[in-house]
Amino acid sequence: MLPADECYGIFQKSIDDYHLKDDVDTPIVNPFPDGSFAALLYLKNWIDTVQWHLEDIIRNPDIDPSSALQIKRRIDRSNQERTDTVEKMDDFFLEAFKDVKYATGSRMNSETPAWLLDRMSILMLKIYHMTEQTERKNVTLQHIAKCREKLAVLEEQKSDMRHAFDQLIEDIGAGRRRFKVYRQMKMYNDATLNPELYKSQSSN
């Protein structure tokens, strides 16, 4: 599996590529081979990056309500796609570690490697946009200083997550820690589980 620094690098490439046009309707052009883990990481961050900007747009107090509803539904679809992509990433880890013999008393990790990568992807977006805030010219020095303090915390968190991910992968490979994949089973997008959806279907 890829070390944390390479994962961060792929996330950063996705963010940089998106901001070449900075448009939520820009189609993804994944530079990594189809079916590769790197391609999944790039896709995951692209989804996160587009959704980040959709979340910004929908908070515009002057947004037209009909446009806001369309964006809200788009965010819902994005959340489902994000979850599906993370679960595909976990499939890679399950395959990679399928032959590991876990030591007696090995500890269970509550978070899978892919869900840790999910947090790392979001963190890279926070760092990118907080850096932007430190470079603004039309704000007060206090705003810049405050954002620099936050950026320092985010960079520290990035370092901590780097070590946490690499240690987790090492420990799983050595049989010292294990994980289970519990599918998210989201109910609100499922027409058989969301009462608002199946009631609507039965009335038609």
**Per-residue pLDDT reduced to its tens digit, 52-103:** 999 999 999 999 999 999 999 999 999 999 999 999 999 999 999 999 999 9
Cα–Cα distance between 120 and 118 in angstroms, integer?
A: 5
Asked if the model's pLDDT at residue 173 lies above 90, the reply is: yes
pTM given for the model: 0.92
Q: Tell me: the pLDDT tens digits for 3-37? A: 999 999 999 999 999 999 999 999 999 999 999 99
Question: What integer is the mean pLDDT of 107-120?
Answer: 97
Please choose, from the candidates 41, 166, 169, 184, the residue with its C-alpha nearest in 3D space to the C-alpha of residue 93. 169
CA angle (41 as vertex; 49, 60 as ends), nearest 5: 10
Bridge partners (DSSP) of residue 178 are: 108
Instruction: With cut-offs at 50, 70 and 90, classify the pLDDT of residue 188.
Output: confident
Kindly write down the DSSP assignment for every residue of 141-168, as one continuous string: HHHHHHHHHHHHHHHHHHHHHHHHHHHH
Q: Do residues 24 and 53 lie in contact, with contact meaning Cβ atoms separated by under 8 Å?
A: yes
